[in-house]
Structure 1
Amino acid sequence: MTALPTPGHIPVMLSEVLDMLAPRDGATYLDGTFGGGGYARAILSAARCTLWAIDRDPAAIRRGEALQAELRAPDGTSRLHMVQGGFGEMRDLLAERDAPMLDGVVLDLGVSSFQLDEVERGFSFRTDGPLDMRMGDTGPTAADIVNTMAEADLANIIYEYGEERRSRRVAGAIVAARAEAPILTTFRLAEIIRSVVPGDRSGIDPATRSFQGIRIHVNDELGQIVSGLDQAMEMLSPGGRLVVVSFHSLEDRLVKRAMNRAAGRLPAPSRHDPGAMRAGRDAPAFRLLTTKALRPTDAECRANPRARSARLRAIERLPTAESPTSAPSSTEHRP
């Protein structure tokens, strides 16, 4: 099939995603984080399949509708179906539309390159913009959070979600600054953070971790991941695959834990919990396709710096008649 172009967007670890997902004709897939449409275009180019795509961002939905038009058949149908919403609600979103069971799901976690590049979205401090950070168009903005949240709570989200060791200093500086005037722009917030967080040898801007923590809180990103992983595995047909690309340790830790649990690789349950012991003896319904996270190649990192922190993990639902000890397929990656 002829590849569909992907204007203005470089999907991370695309060849590895396609290798793990293995799209086939007649199958049904879900791209739970449509973004710029890079994975969606590649999946639809790789096989004559049907693809459902979810995104919270109205701008992403508009990009998807343009791709729908490219794929529209003479009878008016399209192999691509766009749905606005969070991937953590995929079960309800697809049930409302009578979507079938899925043969594969791909999730590209975190903020998209389009959102980072749109100044008015307030995700980046490379250029000054309104302090928004919402992936969708509803709910409190980052400005609402930094101007109203209690100092202790602000310190907690910056520490837990941004992994910023100086979170108390940052929260104190934010509270002191907002007492003088509301914090409404990315430049002002970044300057406040830099005033109490010194630079280090990594070269990473001192404001990066705090911005990450606030962004994750604004969008409930970790909650979406936990819910989305559970629902994706539930909705997979036998032989169906879940492929997840993450970009920082908090995301990857959740993905690793969920996949290991589904594949029966968690530590043995306590003997003091008989119910857990029975559950631990149940044959797992999934097998890992990646026994450790895959990393992008050096060549990809040079061509696309955003790929440097990427991690890919994948899992497959076992066919009902197959034993979990069956020989792995050729797509399994081992350390």
Structure 2
Amino acid sequence: MDHPDDAPAAADTASAEHVPVLLDRVLALLAPALADRPAVAVDATLGLGGHAEALLAAHPQLTLVGLDRDQAALARSRDRLAPYAGRIHLVHAVYDRMPEVLDELGIGGVDGVLFDLGVSSMQLDVAARGFAYAQDAPLDMRMDQSSGITAEDVVNEYPVPQLARILREYGEERFALRIAQAIERERRRAPLRSTAQLAELVREAIPAATRRRGGHPAKRTFQALRIEVNGELDAVRGAVPAALDALTVGGRIVSLAYHSLEDRIVKHAFAALATDTTPPGLPVTLPGSGPQLKLLNRGAEPASAAEIDANARAASVKLRAAERIRAAV
């Protein structure tokens, strides 16, 4: 997927549309685990299939499992990846269902996993999906439009304290209570229905001095609502440990995250398995206590200036990668 949380206006998306973020870096990091053998990789966030297509082209013996909750994206990817139809399994599923999907496919372990978290370029660029504050649309924001609550449900039905908590925790919005109270006043008159209506309400609720810096005033509110509607953080919390469990020794995992909340979950999941659990004071590592993962970069790796120039949606990306070096006991 190609996306950061600060969704660009429609006029800004054409040049970046469908450009996979950090494609060369992702290919280089996964290549040692996939090259020159019958490997299996999972693209846990298939989106429009840009990363998947490049992986399949680079590794002729690769079998790829692609997951996505967005049926429109799956249909587009199925067309894009048609030349590789004999080597792909595309599944309508949220990525936290990875263990179940692999079990259904009879796959016991995988050699590579890619997470490209957040909202995809197609979801941002199709105004009717309601993700972008710069384009008027119904307040939907569902990645899977076949089920679940909408952003309209959240803003019109959640109590003010719950709404403020979501804006504060998921959007890191310091004016969360002011915005929630403004929403409450507005919805007493009439339900909020459109992204433009909500974006303007948020803009007016934030102090004028703050509005003049830091991007669009509604950016954090839209991020928070999207995360709530799609249960994104809970899905990441379940999916990353499951993906690590599925990795064979020598297998590699790459995560692309676009805000600190997702990146923090990935960081902690990687760190937990990259740590020697031998009790302090012992002179040697106990059997079964050594690290299971080797971290492949130091901290979160940003995009280069050249990458950002070529693809504005890479501006906020944080890449982490790891290799399994020991099987779980």
How is 1:101-180 mapped onto 2 (pairs within 5 angstroms)? 101-137=109-145, 138-180=147-189
Match of 1:195 in 2: 204
Letter of the 2:57 counterpart: S
2:290 to 283, 291, 295: 283
Structure 2 SS opposite 1:195? helix
**Structure 2 residue 54 is matched with structure 1 residue 42:** yes
1:85 to 86, 89, 93: 93
Match of 2:319 in 1: 312
Q: CA deviation at 1:167?
A: 0.2
Structure 2 SS opposite 1:83? strand
| CA distances 1:260-315 after superposition (whole Å, capped 9, x unpaired) | 1110179x9899xxxxxx99982221111112111111011112111011110011
1:16 to 25, 30, 46: 25
Can you give the 5+ residue segments of structure 1 that lack an aligned partner in the other structure? Answer: 1-6, 73-77, 272-277, 322-335
Letter of the 2:292 counterpart: A
Distance 1:43 1:169, change over 3 A: same
Match of 1:296 in 2: 303
Q: CA deviation at 1:71?
A: 2.2
Match of 1:223 in 2: 234
Q: TM-score, normalised by structure 1?
A: 0.86
Match of 2:3 in 1: none
Letter of the 1:160 counterpart: E
Match of 1:326 in 2: none
| CA distances 1:166-220 after superposition (whole Å, capped 9, x unpaired) | 0000000001101111111100111111111144454400000011111111111
Distance 1:265 1:304, change over 3 A: farther
1:242 and 1:229 map into 2 onto residues whose CA distance is 9
Indicate conservation of the 8 Å contact 2:116/2:255, yes or no. Answer: yes
Match of 1:329 in 2: none
2:67 and 2:321 map into 1 onto residues whose CA distance is 19
Letter of the 1:285 counterpart: Q
Indicate conservation of the 8 Å contact 2:42/2:112, yes or no. Answer: yes
**Structure 2 residue 42 is matched with structure 1 residue 27:** no
Match of 1:61 in 2: 74
Q: CA deviation at 1:119?
A: 0.8
2:45 and 2:244 map into 1 onto residues whose CA distance is 16
Distance 1:124 1:269, change over 3 A: farther
Can you give the 5+ residue segments of structure 2 that lack an aligned partner in the other structure? Answer: 1-15
Distance 1:269 1:69, change over 3 A: same
Indicate conservation of the 8 Å contact 1:68/1:79, yes or no. Answer: no
1:279 and 1:204 map into 2 onto residues whose CA distance is 51
* Deviation beyond 2 Å, 4+ runs, structure 1: 67-72, 198-203, 268-271, 278-281
Letter of the 2:263 counterpart: D
How is 1:204-223 mapped onto 2 (pairs within 5 angstroms)? 204-223=215-234
Q: TM-score, normalised by structure 2?
A: 0.87
1:84 and 1:38 map into 2 onto residues whose CA distance is 17
2:117 and 2:27 map into 1 onto residues whose CA distance is 16
Paired residues, what number? 303
2:165 and 2:302 map into 1 onto residues whose CA distance is 30
Matched-pair identity in %: 43
Letter of the 2:294 counterpart: R
Indicate conservation of the 8 Å contact 1:133/1:218, yes or no. Answer: yes
Distance 1:92 1:12, change over 3 A: same
1:70 and 1:121 map into 2 onto residues whose CA distance is 29
